[in-house]
Amino acid sequence: MPIIVRLQHCVIRMYFKGHNPPHFHIDTPEQGALMAIRTLEVIDGSVDARALREAKDWAKANNDRLLRRMEGVQSMKIPNVRLRGVEPLATGTLRLTWDDGVTRDVDVTGWMQRNPLLKMLNDPDVFRDVSLVNNGGGVEWANGADFCAQALRLLSDEQIEAKTRLTA
């Protein structure tokens, strides 16, 4: 599941599917909870008060962003794919093979540049240390950075479309 943000006491994650009501996940090493985006109420699970307060404060400050992200996710046609293989190429590029047989080289440097938590992937030694996780549900690096298979497929599709527009 993609990490949206790592806070001091918890991690905020969001799935691409199954968001009724729209929510995000609050994870600590010991606990986990689901928080509704619109009401900021815990709808399942529990986390300690410190992590809950931190997550709620972050969500209040980023509520419009969370709602836009959720609206975008709900309107997208999300591919139902898993990964069968990952091979790091040049730093920032992964050769990915999905379970439907599609293999593509996907450039993730844009994600690495926009997210401060992913900048460490610019180190070639760190970038090479990527592996499949969750039965092909995504890729993860030793430092905890991760991307889900569906987000990578959507990024790949966008890159193919952009290349097609440039050559047309």
Average pLDDT (45-70) is: 88
- Going along the chain from its start, the domains and CATH numbers come out as 3-75 (no CATH), 83-167 (3.30.2020.10)
- Most confident stretch, 49-63, 74-88, 138-152: 49-63
Looking up tokens 């806070």 gives 7
Q: Look at residue 123 and tell me whether its pLDDT is greater than 70.
A: yes
Residue 101: both structure tokens together: 């047989």
Please calculate the CA angle 163-148-165 and round it to the nearest 5 degrees.
10
Cα-based angle 148, 153, 159 (whole degrees, multiple of 5):
130
> How far is Cα 26 from Cα 10, in angstroms, rounded to an integer?
6
Segment 159-167 shows an average pLDDT of 79
Instruction: Return the number of other C-beta atoms located less than 10 Å from residue 53's C-beta.
Output: 13
Over residues 7-15, mean pLDDT: 85
Banded model confidence at residue 144, pLDDT cuts 50, 70, 90: confident
Q: What is the mean predicted confidence (pLDDT) over 150-155?
A: 86
Parallel, antiparallel or unpaired: strands 93-98 and 83-88: antiparallel
Secondary structure of the chain: what % helix, strand, coil (to 5)?
Answer: 40, 30, 30
In this structure, are strands 130-133 and 146-148 parallel, antiparallel, or unpaired? unpaired
- Of 32-36, 61-65, 76-80, 131-135, the poorest mean pLDDT is in 76-80
Verdict on whether the full-model pTM lies above 0.85:
no
Q: Is the pLDDT of residue 15 over 80?
A: no
State the Cα–Cα distance between residues 117 and 107, nearest whole angstrom.
Answer: 17
Task: Please give the single-letter amino acid code of residue 87.
Answer: E
User: How confident is the model at residue 29, as a pLDDT?
Assistant: 85
58-68: average pLDDT: 83
Of 2, 21, 1, 25, residue with least CA distance to 12: 25
Tokens of 43: 């709808």
8 Å CB contact between 146 and 139 = yes
Residue 2 predicted with pLDDT over 70: no
| Residue % of the chain over a pLDDT of 70 | 86
